[in-house]
Structure 1
Amino acid sequence: MAARHAGIPDGRTHPARIRPTHCRRPRRPGGQNDDRMPFAFGAELNVQEIFANALRHHQAGRLGEAEGLYRQVLAIDVRHADALHLLGVLAGQVGRNDIATDLISKAIALNDQSPDFHINLGNVLLMRDRPEDAAGSFRRALALRPDLAEAYYSLGLALQKRGRRNEAGTAYRRALAQKPDHVEASFNLGNILQEQDKPEEAIACYNRALHYRPDQVEAYCNLGTALQARGRQSEAAATYQRALALKPDLSAAHYNLGNTFQAQDRLEEAVISYGRAVACRPDYAEAQGNLGNVLKEQGKLAAAAAAYGRALIHKPDYVEAHSNLGLTLQVQWKLGEAVAAFGRALAYKPDHVEALSNLGVALLEQGKVEEALTSFARALACQPDYANAELNLTVSQLYRPDVGLADILALSRRWNDIHATRFQDRWPDHARPRNTEEKPRLGFVSADFRQHPVGLLAIPALEGLARAGYPLICYSNSNDNSFREDRLRARFAGAATEWRSAATLSDDALADQIKADGIDILIDLSGYSAGNRLLVFARRPAPIQVACWIGYPATSGLVAMDYVLADRYQIPPGAEAFYTEAVVRLPDGYVAFEPAPDAPTVSGLPALSRDGVTFGSFNALKKITPEVVAVWSSILSRLPASRLLLKTLALDCPATRRYYAEMFAAHGIGEERLRFVGKTTAEQHMAWMGQADIALDPFPYAGGQTTLEALWMGLPVISLPRETFGSRHSLSYLSNIGLGGLAAATPGDYVELACDLAGDLPRLADLRSGLRGRMLASPLCDADRFARDLGAALTTMWQRWHDGRPATLIDMT
C-alpha cells in the first residue's frame, strides 16, 4: 500500500504572551533637593512658595497649572534645577520627550548629584528608543545611590530592550534584593526566564508578582504560558480562567485558554475559547488560525477552511494559515488549490520548511514525484535536521522508477544517523524473564487502527493472536475521538487487552508508558508513513522491536529495530543485506486478507458485452508515474478498442485530471479512452472495480490492499516486481493463489502479458469467475493459519532474546 506522507499542521499552539515592560513615564515629583544659587530672602521665599504650589498641582495631576507655575519659577531663577527637572518630567508625561530630554539634561548640568534626575532622564531616553543612553543614566543614578531598586529595575528595562537578557535579569534580581515586593521586576524577570527556556523559575517569578498584586492580569497570562511550557495544561487553564475573571474581554487569555484545551484534546471547549477571543478582537488572525486547526482536527473541513480564510483577511502574510489551509484542501483532495495555498505561504516566506514539506506531499499526491522530491529537498536545505521532510523525502524515493534497495537503505541509515542515534546512550537495560512459558506481551503502534488499508490488513492477524491468548496492547496515534464510530476501530479495541491513546503523548511519555506496560515485543505499523512514532522506537522502550509491518515497505534503517516481517516473495534470499533488521520470512505471505462483507458479487466479464477490454487501476496517483503512463499507453496503443479506468481519491481534483489526460495525450491516447473517477463510498469503489476486466499494477510501487480487492472482484492483476519490497506486494499475493505467471520480468513482458490476456476472453472469463474461490482456498484468506505462523515467529524472537542470542534471520519457508 502507499505509504502516507506526513502533512505538518503549523502554528497550532503558539501562546500569546503579554509583554508590558512598564517603560514608565518620568516619575512624578516627590520630595526635592534645594541646592540653588542664593537670592535675596524675599525673592527666595516667593520662588519657594511658587515652586511648592506647582508641586502640589503636579502631584494632583493638574499638569497645566503646574507647568505655568514651574515656568514662573524659572522666570525668576533660570538656574532652578528642581523646576527644570520637574518641568521636564511633566513634558515626558504628556509625550513631549525631546523637550523633556533637554530640560532634565539642563537640570543635571546644574545638579548632577540627584539620582532622581538621572532616573527620569533614563526613562525619557527609553521612551525615545535610546536604551543604551538610558542605561548610562540609570548606572549614574546607581553610582550615587546603590540601593535604589527603581534604578536597577529601569536599568533592567534598558538592557532588555537591547536584547541583553542575562544582564537585564541580573538588574531585576538586584531590584528585588532591595525591594522584594517590586511586582514589575518580578514580572519582567519571569518574562526573561521564560525566553531562556527556564519555565520553573519563570513560574516562581510570576507567582511572586501575584502574591504582592493578586489582580495583575498580565502575570496570570504569562504564568499560564510558563505552565503550558511545562506541560501543566490543567493548571494553565485555571490560571487563564483567573485572568478572565478579572478581565473578561482579554482576547489573549481566551486564545491561550483555547490552546490548553486543544492540547488536552478538549476540542469543543477550544472552539468556544477561540471564538471568544475573536469576539473580543475580531481581527485576531492567530485565534482564527487556531480555530481552523481545531475544526480541521474535528473533521469539519469546510468550517476550518473558512476560519483560515478569515484569518488571512486580517493578516494576508500569515504564512501558517496559508500552509494549514493548504493541508485542509489537501485532505479534501482539492490538490490544485492546496498547491496554490502552499505557494502563497512560500511567496511570503520561501524558507518555511513546513510549507515546503506540505507542498511536496500535495505534489506527490498529484503524481508529480520529481517535483515533490525537489520540494522536500528545499525544506532540508533550509533546515537540514527537519525530520518530517527527511521522512517524506525517503518515502518518496519508493515511487521513483530507478529506485533500488541500496538507495532506500542509504536514505534510511541517514535518517537514523541524524535523528535516532542520539538516544542510544539512553537505552534501558531490559530485565530478562525467568522463563518463557507465558506468551510475550505484544505492543502494536499505529495511527491506523481504523478503516484504512493498514487497519484492514492488520485486523485479521491481531484478532487471531488474541484468540491464541497473546496479551495485546494497542498504542493508537490518531485522534480516537474522530473514529469513535469506526467499526474497524471497535474490533481493534475488542482484540486488545488494553488500549492506549498515544496521539497527545510526547515521545518520552509514550516510551515510558510502553516500559511501564511491560511490553516484550513492540511492533511498528507505520515505518516512515504519516502518524509514525519512530522516535519512540529509537528510545528502545521494549527489548524486541519489529519494524515497518504493513504500513511501510522498506527497511527502517534504525539500529533500535531488531526484525522486519516479510515472506520469500517480498524479501527473497540474497536481499537481506539491504535491511538493517534481521529478516523474518513467514511461510506463505506477510499479511492475511479479510474480504469486505459488503463487497458486491462478481459480475460477468464486461468485455463480453463491450467492444474491447477495460483495463483498470485503483491505486494512488503517486504510484502512477510518467514511466507507468508510458507503458500503459503502449498497451492501449496495441489494443485500439481498449480503454482505461482510473479511479482514486486524487482524481476529484480537476487540475490533477488535466495533468493525467495531458500525459496520456503525449503518448497518443485521447481522453475519450480514459475514464477518471474520484472519491466514492467503499462499496461503490469495489463496484467500480467490477467495471474493469484486467487490473494494471503500477511499478515500482505495487498495489497492496488495492491488489487484493481487485482480485476479490475478479480482476487478474498484471504486475511488474522489481527488487524493492514495495514493488513485490502483488507478486506475493499472486504467487499465493497460484497466479505468479501474471508477474512480468520486464516492461516489455508486462505489455505482452496484458495484451495476451486481453486477447483471450474465455481465459479471462474463467479467471474472473474463479478468483474468489482461489483466494478463499489459499493461505491469503486463512487468518488463523497466518496468526499461528506469526505467533510462532514472535515466540522464536522471544526465545532467542531470553537465551541471550542476538536477532538473526528467521526463515520459516
Structure 2
Amino acid sequence: MHKEGKLAEAENLYRQVLAANPDHPYANNNYAILLRAQRRWDDAVACYRRAVRANPEDAHVLNNLTCVLSDMGQETQAAKVAMMAVALKPDYAEAWFNLGNILRNLGGADQARQAYRRAVRIRPDMAEAWSNLGDMHKSASELTQAMECYRTALRLQPGLPQPYVNLGEVLKEQGRATDAITLLQHALEQHPTLSLLHSNLLFALHYTPHVPPEVIFRAHRHWGERHATALTTASRKTFSNDRTPDRRLRIGYVSPDFCAHAVSCFLEPLLRGHDRSQVEIFCYPISRRSDAVTARFQAITGHWVPLTGLTDDEAAERIRADSIDILVDVAGHTCDCRPLIFARKPAPIQVSWLGYPDGTGMTAMDYRLTDAIADPPDVTDGWHVEKLVRLEDGFLCFRPAQETAPAGPLPARRNGHVTFGSFNNSAKVTPEVVALWSALLLRVPGARLILKSKPFADPATLARYQSLFTTNGVTPDRVDLLPQNPDQGDHLRAYDRLDIALDPFPYNGTTTSCEALWMGVPVVSLRGTHHVARVTASLLHRVGHDDLVADSPDAYLDIAAGLAGDLDRLETLRQTLRPRMKASPLCDAYGFAEQVEAAYRQMWKDWV
C-alpha cells in the first residue's frame, strides 16, 4: 500500500500492526517514514526510537532517525545517531552522506567534507554526495574542485537541479557572468518549475552589461507569472488587522542574513533606530546561520520568530497569525531567499528593500524602498511591478561591522606611487571592468592595483584574472590579487593600503563602497541606467561627493587619474571622509528610521 502511494490505507494497516505489537521494528520504521513525509516530526521520532530499541544494531533505522532529527533542527543529536549508524555499517554510503549534511549544518566543514568523500568512495555514482562535496569546495574557495564535483554530479544524474544552481554560482564568482547565465537558462529549461533556480538566473543577469534593464524587468515579471501569481490568487484572504490609521504598527522583517553578513550593516541601524512607540518589530529568520551578530539582532527586536524548518505555507500562516501590518522582504532573489512566502500574501502590505538590487516580479509585493538617485523618477518605475517609494535622504543607513581606528597615512606618500583597489566580489569584476581598470593603470605611470576577493584563493581563477590584465597590456607586477581575509578588523585595515577605491560596473559595490569611505578612501563610480549601477552614486551624494561619480568610461578615467595626480586632495579626503560620513544621513540611524517609518505610515493609511 505504502509503495503504491495509498498512504491512508498504509497508515491504517501500520496502526493495526502496532496495536497488536507496539514494538514491531519494521512496522515502526515504515510508519515513521510515512509520518516524516507528513511532517509529523514528533510522532516519527517516537516510532523510530521504538524501532531502534527493538533492533539497536539496524543502521538503516538509525539513519532514518538521523534524517528526521535533522528536519527538526536537532543537529547535535542527529550527529550522534548518524555516527552510530556509520559505526555499525561503515560501508553505508547514505549514512555517510547524511552525516556530512549534519556536520555541515553544525559548521564542521572539514568533517563534512570527509564524510562526503567517504560516501562517494563507497558509492561513486552517488550524485547528491558529489554535489554536496562540491559545495564544501566552493565554500573553501576551491572553485576548480567544486566545478569538477558539480560536473560529475550532473554526468551521473543530469536531472539533478542543485549542481546547476551551484555551478552557476561558481561561474559567476569567476567573473564569467555570461557563462553562468547560459548554464542557468539551460537548467531552467529542464526544471521550469524550480523557483530557486529561476531566482539565481535573475540575480546573475545583473552582473553583465549586455542585458538591458527592460529585459531584466521582463525576466522578473516572467518569474512572478510562473511561480507566484497562482499562489497569490489562491491565497487571497481578508485581513482582520485593526484599521486605526495612527496606531502602533506591527512590522515584520524576513531575512536569511540576521548574522555577520553585508546586509546586517544596513539592517541593524534601522532596527536600532526604530521608534518603538510607533512600530512593534518582528524578525523572521529564514536561515539557521547564527553568530554574535545574530545575538545583537535578538537583543534589539521585540519578537524573534524563526521560519526555518517551515514550509512556505506554514511560514505564511505563522506570519498571518502575528497580524503583521507591513511585511518587509530583505532578500529578494538572493541566496537562501524565500519569495514564495510573500507570494502567499500573509500581510496586507508587503515591501521589498535592501538585500536585492531590483524588484521581485511579484504582484503580491506592493512597494519597494529606494531613492531618486538609485532609481530616477519616470525612468525606473516602468521596470518594476512594485510601486517605488523614494526616501528623500537615501535608501540606506550604514553601520560598520566593527569599530576600527581611522585611516592611516596616505600610502602614496610612502610608496612613491598611487595604489588603486577594489575589495568587491570578483563576480562584479567582469572583463569590461578589467579593461577599464587596465586603461587607468596604463594612463597613470607606476600606479598599482589591489583586488581582494575570496575566489582569488582558487589558482585557476587567479590565473584567469592575471591573464585578463595581461591581455589588456598590464604586466602582472602591477596587480595584486588577494584572497579575502576572514577577520573583519584585518579586512578594514587593508584599506590602509589603498589611495583610491574603484567601483565596479554595472554591479556597484554597496557595503564595500561604504567601508572604503569609512576608512578614508575615496570611491570612483560609473553611474549606469538602473538601480544596480547607481547605488554608489546614491551613497556618494549622501556624503557630498557627487564629484566622484562619472557618467561615461572616459569621465571615470579622468576622475580617477585626476585624483591620482593630486596627493594633497587625497590626504584631505583621507582625513575628512569619515567625519563627513558620520555627519551625513548615511550614518544617521534615527533619522533614517524616521523616514522609513513615515513611508510605512503612509502605506498603512493608503491601505486603510
Instruction: Bin the TM-score by the shorter chain.
Output: over 0.9
Superposed CA offset, 1:572-614 (max 9, x none): 1112111111111111110111235521321111111122210
**Equivalent residue for 2:2, pick from 181, 184, 190:** 190
1:734 and 2:540 correspond: yes
Q: Structure 1 pair 242/668, CA: closer, same or farther in 2 (3 Å)?
A: same
AA aligned opposite 2:356:
Y
Could you tell me how far apart the structure 2 residues matched to 1:434 and 1:677 are? 55
1:382 corresponding residue in structure 2: 190
1:704 and 2:510 correspond: yes
1:438 and 2:247 correspond: yes
Other structure's SS at 1:751 match: helix
2:265 corresponding residue in structure 1: 456
1:347 and 2:159 correspond: no
Cα shift at 1:425:
2.4
1:371 corresponding residue in structure 2: 179
Cα shift at 1:351:
3.4
2:599 corresponding residue in structure 1: 793
What does 1:65-464 correspond to in 2, within 5 Å?
A: 189-192=1-4, 196=5, 198-214=6-22, 216-423=24-231, 424-431=233-240, 433-464=242-273
Other structure's SS at 2:421 match: strand
1:504 and 2:309 correspond: yes
1:679 and 2:484 correspond: yes
Cα shift at 1:212:
4.2
What does 1:520-669 correspond to in 2, within 5 Å?
A: 520-547=325-352, 549-574=353-378, 575-669=380-474
Cα shift at 1:306:
0.2
AA aligned opposite 1:594:
R
Could you tell me how far apart the structure 2 residues matched to 1:260 and 1:779 are? 48
Could you tell me how far apart the structure 2 residues matched to 1:420 and 1:429 are? 19
More displaced 10-residue stretch of structure 1: 298-307 or 721-730: 721-730
AA aligned opposite 2:588:
D
AA aligned opposite 1:572:
P
Other structure's SS at 1:206 match: helix
Cα shift at 1:467:
4.5
Structure 1 unaligned spans of 5+: 1-188, 803-813
Could you tell me how far apart the structure 1 residues matched to 2:278 and 2:272 are? 10
Could you tell me how far apart the structure 2 residues matched to 1:756 and 1:256 are? 65
AA aligned opposite 1:235:
D
Q: Structure 1 pair 215/242, CA: closer, same or farther in 2 (3 Å)?
A: closer
Kept in 2, the 8 Å contact 1:595–1:709? The answer is yes
Cα shift at 1:280:
2.1
AA aligned opposite 2:77:
E
1:693 and 2:505 correspond: no
AA aligned opposite 2:195:
A
1:477 and 2:286 correspond: yes
Kept in 2, the 8 Å contact 1:408–1:554? The answer is no
Could you tell me how far apart the structure 1 residues matched to 2:427 and 2:181 are? 12
Kept in 2, the 8 Å contact 1:600–1:683? The answer is no
Could you tell me how far apart the structure 1 residues matched to 2:124 and 2:332 are? 37
Could you tell me how far apart the structure 1 residues matched to 2:124 and 2:59 are? 20
Cα shift at 1:244:
1.4
Other structure's SS at 1:304 match: helix
Could you tell me how far apart the structure 2 residues matched to 1:240 and 1:769 are? 65
More displaced 10-residue stretch of structure 1: 364-373 or 538-547: 364-373
Superposed CA offset, 1:89-115 (max 9, x none): xxxxxxxxxxxxxxxxxxxxxxxxxxx
Superposed CA offset, 1:228-280 (max 9, x none): 01111111111111111121111110010000110111101111121122122
Could you tell me how far apart the structure 2 residues matched to 1:383 and 1:498 are? 37
Cα shift at 1:640:
2.7
Kept in 2, the 8 Å contact 1:240–1:256? The answer is yes
Could you tell me how far apart the structure 1 residues matched to 2:438 and 2:277 are? 49
Could you tell me how far apart the structure 1 residues matched to 2:402 and 2:81 are? 44
Kept in 2, the 8 Å contact 1:199–1:229? The answer is no
1:713 and 2:519 correspond: yes
1:762 and 2:560 correspond: no
AA aligned opposite 1:691:
R
More displaced 10-residue stretch of structure 1: 411-420 or 371-380: 371-380
Kept in 1, the 8 Å contact 2:248–2:277? The answer is no
Could you tell me how far apart the structure 2 residues matched to 1:489 and 1:751 are? 41
Could you tell me how far apart the structure 2 residues matched to 1:695 and 1:345 are? 40
Which structure would you say has the larger Rg? 1
Could you tell me how far apart the structure 2 residues matched to 1:561 and 1:649 are? 34
AA aligned opposite 1:723:
T
RMSD: 1.4
Could you tell me how far apart the structure 2 residues matched to 1:390 and 1:615 are? 36
Could you tell me how far apart the structure 2 residues matched to 1:638 and 1:377 are? 39
Kept in 2, the 8 Å contact 1:618–1:648? The answer is yes
Kept in 1, the 8 Å contact 2:320–2:346? The answer is yes
Kept in 1, the 8 Å contact 2:421–2:502? The answer is yes
Q: Structure 1 pair 679/200, CA: closer, same or farther in 2 (3 Å)?
A: farther
Other structure's SS at 2:209 match: coil
Cα shift at 1:721:
1.6
Other structure's SS at 1:615 match: strand
What is the TM-score normalised by the length of structure 1? 0.73
Q: Structure 1 pair 214/520, CA: closer, same or farther in 2 (3 Å)?
A: closer
AA aligned opposite 2:367:
Y
Cα shift at 1:466:
4.5
Cα shift at 1:298:
1.0
AA aligned opposite 1:705:
T
Kept in 1, the 8 Å contact 2:325–2:347? The answer is yes
Could you tell me how far apart the structure 1 residues matched to 2:110 and 2:243 are? 57
Kept in 1, the 8 Å contact 2:394–2:542? The answer is yes
Kept in 1, the 8 Å contact 2:168–2:183? The answer is yes
Could you tell me how far apart the structure 2 residues matched to 1:742 and 1:201 are? 71
Could you tell me how far apart the structure 1 residues matched to 2:145 and 2:354 are? 31
Kept in 1, the 8 Å contact 2:135–2:166? The answer is yes
More displaced 10-residue stretch of structure 1: 267-276 or 790-799: 267-276
Cα shift at 1:213:
4.9
Cα shift at 1:662:
1.0
Could you tell me how far apart the structure 1 residues matched to 2:360 and 2:187 are? 21
Could you tell me how far apart the structure 2 residues matched to 1:659 and 1:499 are? 44
Q: Structure 1 pair 763/248, CA: closer, same or farther in 2 (3 Å)?
A: same
Cα shift at 1:765:
1.4
